[in-house]
Amino acid sequence: MDPEGQRSSSTPSAMMASLLSRRAKLQEELRNIERQVYDMETSYLHDPNQCGNVLKGFEGFLSSSKNTALLKRSRKFQPEDRLFSLSSVTSPAVCILDKI
């Protein structure tokens, strides 16, 4: 028995089919996780309620004069600002960056 509690097939072709199936499942799971990271990162970088972020700094946070127009505007960012998404070569951000 293999570690997952399933009886392993004795023929090499059955083992290969099983491994390919598992690989496809893991690749799909990776794509889903990378898409979630990409979407959350986009939300974080666009969040207008912040006075900064971990990538650009928080210089506006300590400012005594809070300009509400600056707080409400949408944040502009470059594709290179996607620190988390760009850490994976298969992420959607890498595909977008390659097209630029």
Residues in the chain: 100
- Could you tell me the pTM of the whole model? 0.65
| Percent with pLDDT over 90 in the chain | 30
* pLDDT tens-place string over residues 48-61: 666 667 777 766 66
Q: What is the mean pLDDT of residues 8-20?
A: 89
Residue 30's contacts (CB-CB under 8 Å, 6 or more residues apart) are: 90
Average pLDDT over all residues of the chain: 78
Q: Please, which pLDDT band fits residue 10 given cuts at 50, 70 and 90?
A: confident
The 10 Å Cβ neighbour count of residue 10 is 7
Distance of alpha carbon 80 from alpha carbon 62, whole angstroms: 26
- The amino acid present at 44, given as its one-letter code, is Y
Residue 32 confidence (pLDDT)? 96
Distance of alpha carbon 87 from alpha carbon 100, whole angstroms: 18
